[in-house]
A and B are shown apart, each in its own frame.
Chain A
Amino acid sequence: MCGIIGFIDRTKSRMDGSSIKAALSLMNERGSGDGAGYAAYGIYPEYADYYALHVFFDDLGEPKKKVDELLQQSGEIVHQEEIPTTPQPGIKKVHIPWRYFFKPSEDLMSGKMASEKDVVTYLVMEVNSNVKGATIFSSGKNMGVFKASGWPEDVANFYRIEDYKGYIWLGHNRYPTNSPGWWGGAHPFNLLNWSVVHNGEITSYGTNQRYVEGYGYKCSLFTDTEVVAYLFDLLGRQHGLSYEMVVKALAPPFWDDIDRMPAKEAELNKAVRLTYGSALMNGPFAIVVGTENGIVGFTDRIKLRPLVVGENGNRLYISSEESAIRVLDPEVKKVYTPRAGEPIIGRFIE
Chain B
Amino acid sequence: MTLGSVPSKFKVSIDRDQCMDCGRCIENCSYGVYRREGDKILIESRKCTGCLRCVAMCPRDAITLTEKPIDYRSHPLWTREVREDIIKQARSGKIILSGMGNARDLPVVYDRLLLDACQVTNPSIDPLREPMELRTYIGKKPSKLNFRKTESGDVELETKLAPNLKLNTPIMIGHMSFGAISLNAQLSMAKAVTELGTYMGTGEGGLHRDLYPYQDHMVVQVASGRFGVNIDYLERGAAIEIKIGQGAKPGIGGHLPGEKVNEEVSRTRMIPVGSDAISPAPHHDIYSIEDLVQLIRSLKEATEWKKPVFVKIAAVHNVAPIAAGIARSSADAVVIDGFRGGTGAAPKVFRDNVGIPIEVAIASVDQKLREQGVRNEISIIASGGIRSSADLAKSIALGADAVNIGTAALVALGCRVCGNCYRNLCPWGIATQRPELVSRLDPERGAVQVSNLIKGWTYELSELMGAAGINSIESLRGNRDRLRGYMLDEEMLKILDVLPAGA
Contact with A along B101-134 (1 / 0, CB 8 A): 0000000000000000010011101000011010
Query: A110 within 8 Å of B by Cβ?
Result: no
- A254 to B137 alpha-carbon distance, docked (Å): 15
Given A201-B122, A271-B159, A274-B161, does the pair A283, B478 have CB atoms closer than 8 Å? no
Contact yes or no, B157 A215, CB < 8 A: no
Given A255-B133, A284-B123, does the pair A204, B143 have CB atoms closer than 8 Å? no
**B366 to chain A: which residues have CB within 8 Å?**
210
Query: A106 within 8 Å of B by Cβ?
Result: no
Of the listed stretches B288-296, B344-352, B368-376, chain A binds: B368-376
The minimal Cβ–Cβ distance linking A276 to chain B, given in whole angstroms, is 8
Of the listed stretches B253-261, B424-432, B464-472, chain A binds: B464-472
Contact yes or no, B164 A274, CB < 8 A: yes
Contact yes or no, B472 A304, CB < 8 A: no
Contact with B along A194-215 (1 / 0, CB 8 A): 0000001101111101110111
What is the size, in residues, of chain B's interface with A at 8 Å between Cβ atoms? 44
Q: Give the residue of B142, B156, B471 whose beta carbon is less than 8 angstroms from that of A301.
A: B471
Query: B13 within 8 Å of A by Cβ?
Result: no
User: B480's closest neighbor in chain A, by CB?
Assistant: A206
**A268 to chain B: which residues have CB within 8 Å?**
155-157
Q: Give the residue of B121, B143, B472 whose beta carbon is less than 8 angstroms from that of A282.
A: B472
**B118 to chain A: which residues have CB within 8 Å?**
203
Query: B482 within 8 Å of A by Cβ?
Result: yes
Query: A133 within 8 Å of B by Cβ?
Result: no
The minimal Cβ–Cβ distance linking B475 to chain A, given in whole angstroms, is 3
- 8 Å CB interface, B462-503 against A: 468-472, 474-482
Contact yes or no, B123 A177, CB < 8 A: no
User: A216's closest neighbor in chain B, by CB?
Assistant: B373
Q: Interface residues of A toward B: which range?
A: 35 or more
Tell me the total A-B contact number using a CB cutoff of 8 A.
119
Query: A350 within 8 Å of B by Cβ?
Result: no
Query: A334 within 8 Å of B by Cβ?
Result: no
Contact with A along B132-146 (1 / 0, CB 8 A): 010101000111110
Query: B287 within 8 Å of A by Cβ?
Result: no
**B145 to chain A: which residues have CB within 8 Å?**
239, 241, 245, 271-272, 275-276
- A206 to B476 alpha-carbon distance, docked (Å): 8
Contact yes or no, A274 B137, CB < 8 A: yes
Contact yes or no, B476 A207, CB < 8 A: yes
- A322 to B60 alpha-carbon distance, docked (Å): 72
- A301 to B155 alpha-carbon distance, docked (Å): 22
Contact with B along A258-270 (1 / 0, CB 8 A): 0000001001101
User: B372's closest neighbor in chain A, by CB?
Assistant: A214
Contact yes or no, A207 B122, CB < 8 A: no
**B370 to chain A: which residues have CB within 8 Å?**
210-211, 213-214
Contact yes or no, B144 A203, CB < 8 A: no
Contact yes or no, A206 B474, CB < 8 A: no
Query: A181 within 8 Å of B by Cβ?
Result: no
Query: A331 within 8 Å of B by Cβ?
Result: no
**A241 to chain B: which residues have CB within 8 Å?**
145, 147
Contact yes or no, B130 A302, CB < 8 A: yes
The minimal Cβ–Cβ distance linking A79 to chain B, given in whole angstroms, is 37
Q: Give the residue of B123, B373, B376 whose beta carbon is less than 8 angstroms from that of A304.
A: B123
- A205 to B116 alpha-carbon distance, docked (Å): 13
Given A255-B133, A277-B474, does the pair A206, B481 have CB atoms closer than 8 Å? yes
Contact yes or no, B474 A280, CB < 8 A: yes
Given A272-B145, A274-B161, A275-B142, does the pair A204, B125 have CB atoms closer than 8 Å? no
- A280 to B397 alpha-carbon distance, docked (Å): 15
User: A273's closest neighbor in chain B, by CB?
Assistant: B474
Taking A211-B478, A241-B147 as known contacts, 12 extra A-B pairs with beta carbons closer than 8 A to each other, sorted by chain A number, are: A201-B122, A203-B469, A203-B475, A207-B481, A213-B370, A270-B161, A272-B145, A274-B142, A275-B159, A280-B475, A283-B122, A301-B472
Q: 8 closest A-B pairs (Cβ-Cβ)?
A: A206-B481, A204-B475, A277-B474, A206-B479, A282-B475, A203-B469, A201-B122, A214-B370
